Structure 1
Amino acid sequence: MLTNAFRALLLCAALLTGYSPSADAQTIDPFEHGWVLDAEASKLRFMSVKKGNVAETSKFATLSGLITEQGKAQIRVLLDSVDTNIDLRNVRMRFLFFEAFNYPEATISVQLDPAQLRDLHDVRRKFVEVAYTLSLHGVTLEKTADVAVTLISNDRVAITSTAPIAIKLDEFNLEGGREKLQEAASVEIVPVGVVSFDFVFDRAAPGTPPSSAQLTAAPAGASAALETKGEMDREACVGRFEILSHTGNINFSPASARLDPSSYPLLDNLYDIVNRCPSLNIEIAGHTDSDGSDATNQALSERRAGSVSAYLAAKGISQGRMRVVGYGESRPLRPNDSAANKARNRRIEFVVLN
């Protein structure tokens, strides 16, 4: 009787004060209200190995993410925000490796199992294997990863990789990017990247479940390695033009100087760089493979360089800042003995003149 009377007294006190014993506790539903990524507290890193044993760790500065009330988790990675701590290395990664002008983001999708996490409010930390879908560089693949899910507080949770995640570059058509990096930096790079992550989520407010619109509207983080605005100094300009010469993403119709529309994203980035280096003049040089006569290749290389110049001029770059030249087949990067090598020899290069 005394116990029942005491419980009744507690209940009356709770009703009078407005206190609810469950107000500060997570319900049995691990996805209640949904969750939103805390981008500043979250980290996505990848490690690459060059020269046989030199490991470099980089990160992405701009992330967004959510977990819906149904347990669907999504992470969006802005590839332009790749941060290696070195400006021109960032530019190489963006233009040569990730080709962010064509593939601006990567996405990670996971359907979390509520049954695996229903007791998270009791145990606080669980180790689970999750199946995830990674979309990167135009390729979408399903994989698995071992993660730890930690309930930091009733309204904050961390999802962390517990083992290195190996990403084979050839699975995502990134082998060509690795070759361009090797050529530009004169180093040998291992064809596997190792990824780790620490994603921190905050519970959404009741009645405001997260939506996919929050993924695309995410602002850049304070440490974002995005391209800064305004004019660049000579070193930054020269380095960028050299890097753009290695992209191989300026394409033409066969045996023609007509620009293929697939070239426009890179050319728009090129325009931005030329525009932000207003004191510099550049040489736009066309090169061909050895197919066809010397005279034909010489003329074709000149016309292709002219098409690039015309594109930039149409966007507002003065013709007086651009010198158009063609070298035909006289300066090959590689022997013209295979289709792949010939493709690398057909190119547009950029050189600062002053």
Structure 2
Amino acid sequence: MRAFHLAAFLALGLVAAPLAVQAQGAFDAGWTLQPDASVLRFQSVKNETKVESSTFATFNGEISEDGLATINILLDSIDTKVDLRNVRMRFLLFETFQYPEAVITAQLDPEMLADLPQLRRKIVPLTYTLSLHGITQEATTEVAVTLITSDLVSVASSAPVSVATSLFDLDSGVAKLEEAASVSILPSATVSFDFIFSRTTRTAPLVAAAPVIAEPTKAAIEPQGNFDLAACKGRFEILSRTDNINFGSGSARLEPQSSFLLDSIADIVSRCPGLRIIVAGHTDSDGAASANQSLSERRAASVVSYLVSQGVGAGRITSVGYGEAQPLVPNDSAQNKKRNRRIEFAVADG
């Protein structure tokens, strides 16, 4: 469960790289990030002592001629080296169905690295903004900028960048990861990176002058094509924990925000051919048991209706309601009651 790890943050470092340009003009023609020659990693800690390292496979960036740096990180490309861990990170932590990217921006000052052609390497402060999970925060870090050639610049973390999940409303996602994997996770992560930028006008291939860099992960996003049975079952178990399918109080009408997740679910169902999917509705214990039973059935049926409207075959998906009969936790607090009001997904046996 490599927790979140705002790998995004480390990206902010690469933002400074292009400053390293030569005296002819720091941002002449702009600079472009070379992802195949760059590395982006984040580290998380689970069960107090176990450190795990993960990456993002897909990111890009540029620095415009006026010094505005922008970095985009595709959060669906999270790579923990384990398929279902990746799925948990996408759906339970980052909620990529609604927040697909992390975006880092910074306005660069060419004077900051005016002496880089002579020094060749310099550690500089960088103020940046990070937009992640619908929240934007400003922070400052330090990056090591190395002038490799007149057309190549490396920007690397001078020390691990620590990021607290609470800054981006990710604590509930961390709790979901902990429950799904039966582990404890430190609610912060450290990010490290080494990015290579080239002048946008560069036509020659990136070669020789660059230092040796660890081979980056080429692709970690959801694989194309159909899933096998284990992958389908694992995904539906994870989807049942998202808590992103919502209804009005006492109503079976889906709230508009639910469509972000339901559209992703429709895609997954379509890639599990030959399987029959069960959608189960559950409520808390407030109100009469008979009313809760009816409400759970109607809510599950609303989800099925939506998925069918998105192309899922009606004969492949059925609904069932359990009312208040199967609580996850005691109905003794508002938070617990919210957890018990849920929609679950499963592959039907046989």
TM-score range, shorter chain: 0.7 to 0.9
**Alpha-carbon distance in structure 2 between the residues aligned to 1:333 and 1:45:** 35
Match of 1:73 among 69, 76, 80: 69
TM-score (norm 1): 0.87
Letter in 2 for 1:150: T
- The equivalent of 1:32 in structure 2 is 28
Answer yes or no: is the 8 Å Cα contact 2:178–2:184 preserved in 1. yes
Answer yes or no: is the 8 Å Cα contact 1:59–1:84 preserved in 2. yes
Answer yes or no: is the 8 Å Cα contact 1:30–1:120 preserved in 2. no
Match of 2:307 among 300, 308, 312: 312
**Alpha-carbon distance in structure 2 between the residues aligned to 1:59 and 1:352:** 31
Letter in 1 for 2:275: L
**Alpha-carbon distance in structure 2 between the residues aligned to 1:117 and 1:245:** 51
- After TM superposition, give the deviation of residue 28 of structure 1 in Å: 4.4
Moved segments of 4+, more than 6 Å:
none
- The equivalent of 2:3 in structure 1 is none
- What does 1:190-201 align with in structure 2 at a 5 Å threshold? 190-201=186-197
CA-atom RMSD in angstroms: 1.4
Which 5+ residue runs of structure 1 have no aligned equivalent?
Answer: 1-24, 207-220
- What does 1:102-251 align with in structure 2 at a 5 Å threshold? 102-205=98-201, 223-251=218-246
**Alpha-carbon distance in structure 2 between the residues aligned to 1:333 and 1:44:** 38
- The equivalent of 2:6 in structure 1 is none
Which digits, 9 at most, give the CA deviation of each residue in 1:241-296, with x for residues without a partner? 00000000011111100011101011011001110001111111000111111011
Which 5+ residue runs of structure 2 have no aligned equivalent?
Answer: 1-20, 203-215
**Alpha-carbon distance in structure 2 between the residues aligned to 1:177 and 1:70:** 38
Match of 1:85 among 75, 81, 101: 81
Answer yes or no: is the 8 Å Cα contact 1:34–1:203 preserved in 2. yes
**Alpha-carbon distance in structure 2 between the residues aligned to 1:152 and 1:342:** 58
- After TM superposition, give the deviation of residue 36 of structure 1 in Å: 0.4
Q: Identity rate of aligned residues, in percent?
A: 57
- After TM superposition, give the deviation of residue 129 of structure 1 in Å: 1.0
Pair 1:330-2:333 in alignment: no
**Alpha-carbon distance in structure 2 between the residues aligned to 1:41 and 1:94:** 25
**Alpha-carbon distance in structure 2 between the residues aligned to 1:70 and 1:163:** 28
Match of 1:273 among 268, 276, 279: 268
Which digits, 9 at most, give the CA deviation of each residue in 1:105-130, with x for residues without a partner? 00111222211111111211111111
Match of 1:96 among 92, 95, 113: 92
Which digits, 9 at most, give the CA deviation of each residue in 1:325-344, with x for residues without a partner? 11111111122122221111
Higher RCO (CA < 8 A, seq sep 6+)? 2
What's the secondary structure of 1:261's corresponding residue?
Answer: coil
* Higher Cα Rg, which structure: 1
Letter in 2 for 1:65: G
**Alpha-carbon distance in structure 2 between the residues aligned to 1:196 and 1:252:** 41
Match of 1:63 among 59, 64, 68: 59
**Alpha-carbon distance in structure 1 between the residues aligned to 2:78 and 2:66:** 31
- After TM superposition, give the deviation of residue 222 of structure 1 in Å: 7.1
Summarize the Cα distance change of 1:32–1:121 in structure 2 as closer, same or farther, 3 Å threshold: farther
- After TM superposition, give the deviation of residue 317 of structure 1 in Å: 1.8
Which digits, 9 at most, give the CA deviation of each residue in 1:223-243, with x for residues without a partner? 121111111100110000000
TM-score (norm 2): 0.88
**Alpha-carbon distance in structure 2 between the residues aligned to 1:243 and 1:265:** 16
The number of aligned residues is 316
What's the secondary structure of 1:40's corresponding residue?
Answer: helix
Answer yes or no: is the 8 Å Cα contact 2:60–2:71 preserved in 1. yes
Letter in 1 for 2:322: Y
Letter in 2 for 1:323: T
Letter in 2 for 1:171: L
Answer yes or no: is the 8 Å Cα contact 1:28–1:121 preserved in 2. no
